[in-house]
Chains A and B, each alone.
Chain A
């Protein structure tokens, strides 16, 4: 009942012209930033933060949060149309969506992404509304050992996110893990493989790698093929295409599952949308009745990924609003926004300044509606990109990714990383090594290493810590079953076979 009253209060506040305008501005800016490669929601919020220094704290929070989920919406567009993952969490969208675009189904893929984003976003805000205090308590039960096993679970996704030969996927995954060791060692702070360059001190800039290996490599391949027009059967009519009933039906279960995974993992500090999207994709692929279609344009894959990364935003707001602790880099900047207004974020935010959390929550419901309307409208224009002559389009992709890479840290070094990995990605494509596991390894490697080191520090070097803690034990059992699953299935089938004999 309290929740309803507070939410009504939030809506009352947000449903005024000035608030709606700020939500609209935030979501619109987020959509563009998300669609453009490089500059992610974190950087976008950071850029706009000083502008809101003078405005009312609720107003600025509403707008800055709008950028956050708006960017998740927008991340899918360039992934689908141009194979440029605008966000790290949209890498898997690129994998399926670009294939669909090549088959002339770009519009359909984008509408699926829009609908999934809306579904994931809205359900997770609902979750945030009703379950924030509960979930934040549960999140605290996760210590380093639990995170370690969760990250190992995430690594198992390498087997699913690669298309084609498992050995090649493994090569790509290991390559990513090796890249992840560059930079400061997480426990001792020692510098590894930086060759004395401070540019590598924070590790290989991850977004530049993803853009290079996907987008630049694609451009190189296109040039090699002689810049043929985008696709033989580009839609003549630039009308909105909706997914068919059949496609919606098979997307239903991945979508709801993705929402759940995204929301829960988003609420765990330090996990975030990228891992959620990879896990959601893998799980959906595992259950799919047509796994052979995945990696070649499975529309339900988009549903799994886009629900997960959008639901993760609602999840990430849980620790921020209920504990006053940021769970991701984007929410850390949002927290900075609260501090900038002289507020003290903490567990008392809900009782001392209820207008802030409830205003933000209410604005997220409205913002998601605004985002899907804007997304569907904009998609009509975005798709026209594909009508450009390939010679122009590839140049645009090239330029936009270079600007994007530079804009991450305003550092020219990132452009070199982009170009180098463009060439690496080109050779990977030539020999059929999938790109996605590289990204996964690079994201997860440092996390696996950190949490493993932390666990051993906690236990004074004993591995038993992973079985002594109940949550970690349960996760460990799940992990072992998943890793041994192919073996179990194999022996099970053999048993059945010999019985039949």
Chain B
């Protein structure tokens, strides 16, 4: 009986321990990260501002390994390894509810200067799509860091060589040309909406539950005509000669695809890219925002950051807090309008 008791007791301990390890691992990882960056020896640049006095958390709305996560980790890594702040920055993942989990988490921390969060297209779209009782105005913009450009790609053996070929084919009949994309209402349908507006065609939209990767499979299998993606999502396929980029939606040509003309060059006056920025909870003091915006500016000069931009085909597009806010105010109505028309575009 005693033995049973002891083995029982040890198993309870074991299970409790395992539970702790498993749930605690998420934080352990960050502790490991902060150790190497944790240097408090460097003097603060603004002695009057006592900030930061402890670890700054950078919250991400996706799982580790997703685009937003790699973006946040690059920033944290640059800050920690170059010692741009006296205290380390650690990345915290709050995935789920297509961003809602993170927004709720950050909303509850109003006034907390030790919380940063990813601010990207999702911040403008998720509240509308998911009927969340919040908007981008409930957060403090800190800085825009980069623009993730969008490109139009077709299968390598596609008959469409230029945007003109694609638009001409689409003009034959409404929905004659199919765009494969990610989740319903995802940002890849925004650029196609703008193209539709400029050229008067109507595309056939084919959404995928599994996101962009599934859309690429559909395209590779010849079940759709084109995709609109960030360069990082398709560059591997392009290099292998499986996909071909026919247009980029930027003002100037992309360094990663120097031979591909822009939409403008091809007579379609459309530019669109997805911003990647940083925001904070409401009611954070302006001095702290100013401090962080300066730190983030320094991040853009690090090699780590430049390498990240190059690897992922992003364009450096730093904007300080004030300009970032103005940018969000300008973009929000566009996002809202595109989202509202999405369902009617499907129904047509």
- Interface residues of chain A, those whose CB is within 8 Å of chain B, are 32-33, 36, 39, 42, 44, 46-51, 53, 139-144, 184-191, 196, 198-199, 201-202, 269-270, 319, 323-326, 332-337, 339-340, 342, 344-349, 384-385, 387-389, 392, 396, 399-400, 403, 406-407, 409-411, 446-447, 450, 454, 457-458, 460
B205 at the interface (CB under 8 A from A): yes
Asked if B26 and A47 sit within 8 Å, CB to CB, the answer is yes
Q: Which residue of A lies closest to B26 (CB)?
A: A47
Known: A140-B222, A348-B236, A460-B175. 4 other contacts (CB 8 A): A202-B98, A325-B216, A447-B209, A458-B206
Q: Find the residue from A48, A346, A406, A446 having the highest chain B CB count within 10 A.
A: A346
Kindly list the 5 A-B residue pairs having the minimum CB-CB distance in the complex, ordered from nearest.
Answer: A336-B65, A346-B236, A189-B184, A347-B240, A143-B223
* B206 CB to nearest A CB, Å: 5
Q: Is the CB–CB distance between A345 and B236 below 8 Å?
A: yes
Interface residue B25 (Cβ < 8 Å from any Cβ of A): yes
**CB proximity of B134 to chain A, nearest CB, Å:** 10
Q: Which chain A residue has the least Cβ–Cβ distance from B33?
A: A50
> Are the C-beta atoms of B204 and A33 separated by less than 8 Å?
no
Looking across the interface, which residue of chain A has its beta carbon closest to that of B206? A457
- Find out whether the CB atom of A346 lies under 8 angstroms from the CB atom of B239: yes
Distance to closest chain A CB from B343 (angstroms)? 5
| A186: contacting residue among B98, B207, B235, B240, CB under 8 A | B207
* Chain A residues within 8 Å of B73, by CB: 50, 53, 340
With a cutoff of 8 Å between Cβ atoms, the chain B residues found around residue A270 in the complex are: 209-210, 214
Q: Are A457 and B101 in contact (CB under 8 A)?
A: no
- Minimum Cβ distance to chain A for residue B39 (Å): 17
Q: How far is the CB of B137 from chain A (nearest CB, A)?
A: 18
Taking CB as reference atom, which chain A residue is nearest B236?
A346
Q: Which residues of A contact B29 (CB under 8 A)?
A: 47-48, 50-51
A392 touches B12 (CB 8 A): yes
Q: Whole-angstrom distance between the alpha carbons of A339 and B236 in the complex?
A: 11
26 contacts between A and B (CB under 8 A): A32-B18, A36-B18, A44-B22, A46-B64, A53-B73, A143-B218, A144-B223, A187-B207, A189-B129, A191-B131, A199-B97, A324-B237, A325-B220, A340-B64, A340-B73, A342-B307, A344-B311, A347-B237, A384-B7, A387-B4, A388-B8, A396-B12, A396-B15, A409-B96, A409-B101, A457-B346
Are A411 and B22 within 8 A (Cβ)? no
A139→B22 CA distance, assembly (Å): 35
Could you tell me which residues of chain B, from 115 to 149, have a CB within 8 Å of some CB in chain A?
129-132
Selected contact of B11 from candidates A144, A342, A385, CB within 8 Å: A385
In the bound complex, CA of A450 to CA of B209 (Å): 7
Q: For A198, what are the chain B residues with a Cβ–Cβ distance below 8 Å?
A: 97, 100, 130-132
Whether, in the assembled complex, B267 has its beta carbon less than 8 Å from a beta carbon of chain A, the answer is no
The docked-state distance in angstroms from the alpha carbon of A399 to that of B19 is 10
A47-B25, A199-B97 as given contacts; A269 in contact with B240, CB under 8 Å: no
Let me know if B213 is at the binding interface, CB within 8 A.
Answer: yes
B111 contacts A by Cβ under 8 Å:
no
Whether a CB of chain A sits under 8 angstroms from the CB of B63 is yes
Asked if B272 is at the interface of the complex by the 8 Å CB criterion, the answer is: no
In the complex, whether B91 has a CB less than 8 A from a CB of chain A is: yes
Q: Which of A42, A187, A199 has the most CB of B within 10 A?
A: A187
Contact of B223 among A344, A409, A411, A458 (CB under 8 A): A458
- Neighbouring A residues of B12 by C-beta, 8 Å: 392, 396
A346 engages B63 (CB within 8 Å): no
CB closest residue in chain A, given B32: A51
Residues in A with CB closer than 8 Å to B98 are: 201-202
Please pick, from B65, B185, B216, the residue contacting A340 in the complex, using a CB distance under 8 A: B65
Contacts of A184 in B (CB 8 A): 129, 183-184
- Which residues of chain B from 217 to 266 have any CB-CB distance to chain A below 8 Å in the complex? 217-218, 220-224, 232, 235-237, 239-240, 242
Q: Bound state CA distance, A34 and B291, in angstroms?
A: 45
User: Roughly how many angstroms separate A342 CA and B235 CA in the complex, as a whole number?
Assistant: 13
Bound Cα distance A53, B34 (Å): 13
The answer on a CB contact under 8 Å between B100 and A201 is yes
Closest CB in chain A relative to B199 CB, distance in Å: 20
For B4-18 the 0/1 string (1 means CB < 8 A from A) is 100110011001001
* Residue B208 interfacial (CB < 8 Å): yes
Across the interface, name the chain B residue whose C-beta is closest to A406: B23
**Alpha-carbon gap, A368 to B3, bound state (A):** 34
Q: Which of B73, B206, B216, B222 counts the most A-chain CB atoms under 10 A from its CB? A: B206
Name the distance in Å between A389's Cβ and chain B's nearest Cβ.
7
- In the complex, what's the smallest C-beta–C-beta distance from B248 to chain A, in angstroms? 18
Closest B residue by C-beta to A329 = B210
Q: Which residues of the other chain, B, contact A32 by a CB distance below 8 angstroms?
A: 18, 22
Contact B236 A344 (CB under 8 A): yes
Complex Cα–Cα for A258 and B101 (A): 39
Q: Does B66 contact A (CB under 8 A)?
A: yes
User: Is B52 an interface residue when CB atoms closer than 8 A count as contact?
Assistant: no
Give the chain A neighbours of B343 by CB distance below 8 A.
Answer: 188-190
Q: B94 near A: Cβ within 8 Å?
A: yes
With both chains docked as a complex, state the minimum distance between the C-beta of B27 and any C-beta of chain A, in angstroms.
10
Bound together, the chains give a CA A144 to CA B221 distance in angstroms of 10
| Nearest residue, chain B, Cβ from A457 | B206
A140-B221, A189-B342 are known contacts. Are A342 and B65 too (CB-CB below 8 A)?
A: no
Q: Report chain B residues within 8 Å CB of A33.
A: 22
Which chain B residues lie closer than 8 Å to A191 at the CB level? 130-131
Partner pick for A387 among B7, B22, B96, B129, CB 8 A cutoff: B7
Give Cα distance in the complex from A189 to B8, angstroms. 49
CA gap between A411 and B94 in the complex, in Å: 10
- From A325, which residue of chain B is reached at the shortest CB distance? B213
In this assembly, does B69 line the interface, its C-beta being within 8 Å of a C-beta of chain A?
A: yes
Residues from 61 to 104 in B contacting A, C-beta threshold 8 Å? 63-67, 69-70, 73, 77, 91, 93-98, 100-101
Query: How far, in angstroms, from A46 to B91 measured CA to CA in the complex?
Result: 13
Question: Which chain A residue has the least Cβ–Cβ distance from B28?
Answer: A51
- The answer to whether B23 touches A407, judged by C-beta atoms less than 8 angstroms apart, is yes
Q: Determine whether B316 belongs to the interface, using a CB cutoff of 8 Å to chain A.
A: no
C-alpha spacing A349/B242, complex, angstroms: 13
Q: How far is the CB of A291 from chain B (nearest CB, A)?
A: 35
